[in-house]
Amino acid sequence: MKKNYLFYLLVFIVSISNVNAQCLTDEYYQKAIKQNPNIVNDANNFFSQLNPIGQKRVTKYIIPVVFHVIHTNGPENISLEQIEDQIRILNEDFSLNNANKSNIRAPFTNVAADCEFEFRLAKVDPQGNCTNGVNRIFNAAHVEARDNVKFLPGASWNNRYYLNIWVVSSIETSGEGTTLGYAYLPYSSNISNFSTLDGIVIRSDYVGTIGTGSVSGAGRTLTHEVGHYLGLLHTFEDGCNGSGANVGDRCADTPPVAGTFTNANCPANNNSCTNDNPNLIDQWENYMDYSRGTCQSMFSKNQKTIMHNVMENFSFRKNLSSSNNLILTGINNANSAPVAFFNSTKRTVCVNENIQFFDNSCKAQVTSRQWTFTGANTLGTNIQNPVVKYSKPGKYKVSLMVGNTSGNNTLTVEEYITVLPSIAIDKPSVRQDFELSTWNTGTGWSILDQGLLKFTQETTTGYSGNNSLVAPIRNGSPLGQRFQIVTPSVDLRPTVGKNPKLSMMIGYLRQSATSSEGIRLYYSRNCDNSWTQFLYRNAFTLAYESTNYQTGFKPSASNHWKLLTQSLNQFQNDSNIQFMIEVESGAGNNVYIDDINIGIYNTNISSIDQMIQLNVYPNPSHDEINIEYENINGETSVWLENIEGKKIAEILPVTTQTGKIELKYRKCVNINNGIYLLKIKTNEQIVNKKVIFAN
């Protein structure tokens, strides 16, 4: 058996790309051997004592699976639907029900095997709670992950009960290639921490074929890694010296292959080794070769024998499919009352948008159920997976009661659904200068909750005032940590033909020439809460000076800020769109953001307030404010809205008066103290100004 080699997987057609994709299974196997050399004997003993497969099993080996999605709210935070697509692919591949099995060439049709495995997402977690089999953990360790992710709190479930799969954005990038996945071989078990390490790490963009999943990979990266998890080696093990049942991949029905990249392009009748008997062409259909995923279509009968023997001879694999474990993990039902659990296609929707709910109750068979949807068009139903809609904006409670002859259980979640107007209330210009301590209270602006490492308000430096927003990177933020702020929903239609843009001031200086901070802009349309990137700027272009470096930089002058502006012309017909600003840590300096504006003017040295000479005072006020601004041309009007977007006071009806306009507004007795939006329409846009009435 070879002692030193790396797995490589060619993802793209060789004629198109020369990028190698590296699998680390063998590297970790060699590390295990170095820690405990007896592993070599353990493996040899296992292969020398394989029991042949008898009759077809009465039941398949059923394996409970948990996907630990390690993320910081980026594209690596893949959807449940994408994970379910991967489960579908695994079950097809391991039961020879894959659609492309008809492409298996004649020499191998008689050795292609139904391996009799089935993979199911776990329905009960280690604490006995219902789960959908996806464990999402917010942590920047998803970058260059390797084994580090397995030691995050709650990120490794007992390997005797679950197949652990860790989903990350990157595993390792080196001059030798990009790693797509790796697994621990079962005969590596006699090493320290094996119970924590055991499982599969895979890149998020190679899970399934929908969402961010690679179409060319066809979901076969995980099929390949599960093969390793169940004891299989690669078909090109030991090259042409790997011919026979006792060498190479230990399978007599998989012809030897000369090298790693030999079959990358799936050559029609390639025969890279001629010393095998019988002398057969290369079996690039095999999932354990490194041919393209779309070419792969089979495991062999000898491989099936190895996998079945692993399930019977290693206790931590055998227990996975035991009847007790299938009950423990919720795959099979117990004789008890069910536990209520549900989820939905969305948590945030527009008015009158359909939402489907799913009864994912666990532990026992549900024979009766009752949904209660506060504020929905359907207030109650006993349908398993109902579709409902809401006609009014707000936050709504959802409740599910399930039962059987052993008892009932109810789950109620307050404010489970957020319903937004179908047409956004806010019109350009939508601005944020972070001057108020309550800048994100009831205004539609929000920082995504990321625990301690998140955007915070900075009160000692700003571009146009004293405050700004800061991504506190230099305070120990790891590589890849993301900081995200979301704007209110905006109706951009008033800007049609006026070149709308999203702009902001950035305060940043690189720590060194290798600093890798970056900023991205995303959009989300029509309350769908899914984000699409449309801009990226790296550290070099963010820095206000490209050739100077400073450790612990903090802007202290106006020239320490740089304008970032991005055209929104492609969105000018959108009546309901949100934007997300994301800063990614390169483990360097803080990034400061100030004076965000969505409108037809850039935030710049002359702010929009200064363009129209806007002055609102006193602010905060007890009961009266003075409003002064300049109207250059066109119609102008002024009104006051509450934070829900309802107009509560007309201050200045539409007028064509130009020049300096001075107004005084005294709040009515029925207007409570709090935060309000003063809206001034002038210069072909609407300017928003927060005002506070307080005692």
Same domain flag for 128 and 229: yes
Same domain flag for 234 and 370: no
What is the sign of the dihedral through the CA atoms of 280, 285, 286 and 288?
Answer: positive
Q: Respond yes or no: is residue 225 known to be catalytic.
A: yes
Please state, for a pLDDT cut of 90, what percent of the chain lies above it.
Answer: 70
What is the sign of the dihedral through the CA atoms of 397, 401, 402 and 408?
Answer: positive
Distance between CA atoms of 139 and 480, rounded to whole angstroms?
Answer: 9
Q: How many domains does the chain have?
A: 4
Looking up residue 678, the CATH number of its domain turns out to be 2.60.40.1930
Q: Decide which of 420, 440, 462 is a domain's last residue.
A: 420
Q: Which of 581, 567, 595 is nearest to 518 (CA)?
A: 581
Same domain flag for 556 and 679: no
Same domain flag for 376 and 505: no
Tell me if 554 is assigned to some domain.
yes
Six-digit token string for 545: 């000076």
For residue 617, CA distances in Å to 414, 594, 678 come to 39, 22, 12
Distance between CA atoms of 323 and 338, rounded to whole angstroms?
Answer: 18
Looking up residue 399, the CATH number of its domain turns out to be 2.60.40.10
Same domain flag for 629 and 571: no
Q: Which of 681, 677, 673, 689 is nearest to 615 (CA)?
A: 689
Same domain flag for 373 and 320: no
Same domain flag for 178 and 234: yes
Band of residue 20 on the pLDDT scale cut at 50, 70, 90: low
Mean pLDDT within 517-536: 91
Tell me if 663 is assigned to some domain.
yes
Tell me if 213 is assigned to some domain.
yes
Provide the whole-model pTM: 0.81
Give the angle subtended at the CA of 613 by the CAs of 611 and 619, to the nearest 5°.
125
For residue 384, CA distances in Å to 342, 359, 418 come to 10, 6, 22
Mean pLDDT within 38-46: 93
Same domain flag for 488 and 555: yes
Distance between CA atoms of 120 and 343, rounded to whole angstroms?
Answer: 18
Distance between CA atoms of 551 and 514, rounded to whole angstroms?
Answer: 13
Q: Which of 90, 27, 119, 81 is nearest to 296 (CA)?
A: 90
Tell me if 458 is assigned to some domain.
yes
Residue 27 has φ and ψ, to the nearest 5°, of -60, -45
Six-digit token string for 222: 């995980």
> pLDDT tens digit string along 326-377?
999 999 999 999 999 999 999 999 999 999 999 999 999 999 999 999 999 9
Distance between CA atoms of 515 and 518, rounded to whole angstroms?
Answer: 9
For 502, the enclosing helix (H) or strand (E) is strand 501-507
Q: Which of 603, 511, 608, 516 is nearest to 564 (CA)?
A: 603
> pLDDT tens digit string along 164-203?
999 999 998 765 568 899 999 999 999 999 999 999 999 9
What's the maximum distance between 2 C-alpha atoms anywhere in the chain? 97
Residue 118 DSSP class: E
pLDDT of 478 reads 86
Same domain flag for 449 and 386: no
Six-digit token string for 4: 């030193």
Same domain flag for 414 and 387: yes
Q: Which of 581, 611, 579 is nearest to 594 (CA)?
A: 581
Choosing from 27, 76, 116, 225, the catalytic residue is 225
Find out whether 278 and 264 touch, Cβ atoms under 8 Å: no
Q: Which domain holds residue 408?
A: 342-420
> pLDDT tens digit string along 370-408?
999 999 999 999 999 999 999 999 999 999 999 999 999
Q: Decide which of 370, 399, 420 is a domain's last residue.
A: 420
